[in-house]
């Protein structure tokens, strides 16, 4: 039985090329030079992109789960901007990337819990998860002089809006949440693709541990890849500022069993950025940058070397 499980797991993990990492653990050496994340005899194809419109309006009598309101600008809300961009991106992906399906985690203003978003991504067997958000800076606390008393200056602390934020930001899941990523892969990726017919997986089995770790490393590498590709498009093609790539313990990123990135498209509490994020030209520019990045990503991860 164990040999049967091993063979099926190997076939499953070959889909993303992670089996190469397993080979390296047993000191196999390649005489070829590495080529930009290419994989020999890679049969993987990008078929499903999950597009996650961040936040939303919490529905009445909502089931238990994690919800968050999102940021607000002077005349708009993050939940509306992210949904508009997500809907445009879905249409662009399915129009320009033949054979690729784009699945939205929400299609209305009604919010979806973090847990449900990850479940939608995994249930639809996504190959790539892109979460759309808007950034915002917290108020600054400053000290200002309000008068004098007995010849001495009197100060008080006041809050002032900080509207200085500008540009995009890419987030990938923090390594401190690796355990959750491992569990997501075991529960969704390996079991779904290995067709164990109810045999189940022993989480302490060395085979399962090795293959899960291989998946996680591959997904991590690909998450960084798509994040950098989007950032590059925003800077080099659109001429906008990008704050680059950061790690953060975002629930949906570490619970989606696939390469994942959260795109902070701009600062909604910056008046100039808010106008851009709400304009048709601005939204189309953001969508086209992400689309170009997905095209490049698709070409690279599907590439086969001889």
Beta carbons within 8 Å of 195's beta carbon, 6+ residues apart: 8
Average pLDDT over all residues of the chain:
79
Mean pLDDT of 219-248: 95
Q: Taking the model in full, what pTM does it have?
A: 0.76
Mean pLDDT of 136-157: 84
* pLDDT for residue 189 is more than 50: no
Q: With bands split at pLDDT 50, 70 and 90, how would you rate the model's confidence at 190?
A: very low
Question: Could you tell me if residue 152 is inside a domain?
Answer: no
**Percent of the residues in the chain that have a pLDDT greater than 70, as a whole number:** 72
pLDDT in tens, 286-299: 999 999 999 999 99
- Between 269 and 210, where is the model more confident? 269
Number of domains in the chain: 1
pLDDT in tens, 7-26: 544 444 444 443 333 333 33
**Which residues constitute the domain of residue 80?**
2-137+165-305
Mean pLDDT of 190-200: 42
Question: Could you tell me if residue 142 is inside a domain?
Answer: no
Question: Could you tell me if residue 151 is inside a domain?
Answer: no
Give pLDDT, residue 269: 97
Question: Could you tell me if residue 18 is inside a domain?
Answer: yes
Question: Could you tell me if residue 61 is inside a domain?
Answer: yes
pLDDT in tens, 61-75: 877 778 888 999 999
* pLDDT for residue 276 is more than 70: yes
pLDDT in tens, 82-116: 999 999 999 999 999 999 999 999 999 999 998 99
Mean pLDDT of 125-137: 96
- Between 179 and 190, where is the model more confident? 179
Question: Could you tell me if residue 154 is inside a domain?
Answer: no
* pLDDT for residue 119 is more than 80: yes
Question: Could you tell me if residue 146 is inside a domain?
Answer: no
Question: Could you tell me if residue 71 is inside a domain?
Answer: yes
CATH label of the domain that carries residue 80? 3.40.630.40
């Amino acid at each position: 039985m164990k040999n049967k499980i091993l063979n099926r797991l190997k076939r499953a993990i070959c889909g993303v090329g992670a089996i190469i990492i397993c080979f390296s653990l047993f000191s196999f050496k390649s005489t070829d030079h590495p080529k930009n994340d290419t994989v020999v005899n890679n049969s993987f194809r990008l078929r499903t992109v999950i597009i996650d419109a961040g936040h939303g309006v919490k529905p009445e009598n909502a089931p238990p789960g994690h919800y968050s309101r999102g940021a607000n600008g002077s005349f708009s809300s993050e939940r509306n901007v992210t949904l508009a961009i997500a809907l445009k991106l879905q249409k662009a992906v399915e129009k320009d990337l033949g054979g690729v399906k784009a699945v939205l985690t929400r299609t209305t203003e009604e919010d979806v819990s973090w847990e449900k978003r990850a479940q939608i991504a995994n249930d639809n067997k996504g190959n790539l998860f892109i979460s759309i958000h808007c950034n915002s800076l917290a108020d600054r606390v400053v000290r200002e002089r309000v008068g004098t008393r007995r010849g001495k200056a009197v100060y008080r602390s006041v809050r002032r809006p900080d509207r200085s934020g500008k540009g995009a930001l890419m987030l990938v899941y923090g390594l401190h949440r690796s355990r959750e990523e491992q569990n997501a892969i075991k529960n969704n990726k390996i079991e779904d693709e290995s067709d164990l017919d109810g045999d189940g997986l022993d989480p302490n089995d060395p085979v399962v541990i090795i293959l899960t770790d291989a998946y996680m490393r591959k997904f991590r590498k690909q998450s960084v890849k798509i994040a950098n590709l989007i950032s590059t498009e925003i800077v080099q093609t659109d001429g906008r500022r990008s704050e680059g790539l950061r790690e953060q313990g975002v629930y949906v990123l570490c619970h989606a069993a696939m390469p994942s990135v959260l795109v902070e498209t701009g600062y909604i509490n910056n008046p100039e950025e808010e106008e851009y994020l709400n304009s048709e030209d601005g939204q189309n520019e953001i969508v086209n940058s992400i689309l170009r990045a997905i095209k490049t990503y698709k070409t690279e991860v599907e590439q086969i070397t001889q």
